[in-house]
Structure 1
Amino acid sequence: MIIELWILCAIVTAVIATVRGGHSLRWLLIGCILGPIGVLAAVLMPSLKSKEPEVAARRQSEVDEMTKPLRESDTKTISAKPNDQ
């Protein structure tokens, strides 16, 4: 009975987070670990979706900035290769 409740909490957490603009797999794992507390966390998290285009664009650019891969042309990268090749 407890295992079924925990699985249900994980699914509900993922669905709530997805509707609010969160990453579903991440929240599914949070729901698996925290159970009912994960559902509460998903309900209380701020929505990443907005009806105002400016706010939605700003939030999307923040998400894109966090998820973009490190580019080779980035000057902050550290390489073990010598530059005089």
Structure 2
Amino acid sequence: MAVHSLLFLSPLLRGCAEMQSPPAIIWLTTGELADRLRLTTRTLERWRAAQYGPEWHQMGGSIRYSLADVEAFEILSSCGRRA
């Protein structure tokens, strides 16, 4: 890239630096979620098989739950609605 192109882009780059990046996703393991919900990990396994509970993601060979999905599930559950 030519030097004059870099000079042209510099105001744009400054604007990008001022923008806030989205918050990082906080991931929970099955064990961490079990502790949070006061359940066993086996109960969470059964929920996954029954397609119940918070949305889960498989990352490599591991199951993870995003904290945002867990909180949404908790809110829906406290209102008497099943997720």
- Scaled to the shorter chain, the TM-score interval is under 0.3
Q: Which has the higher contact order (CA 8 A, sep 6+)?
A: 2
**Larger strand proportion, structure 1 or 2?**
2
Give the TM-score of the pair, scaled to structure 2. Answer: 0.26
Q: Which has more radius of gyration?
A: 2
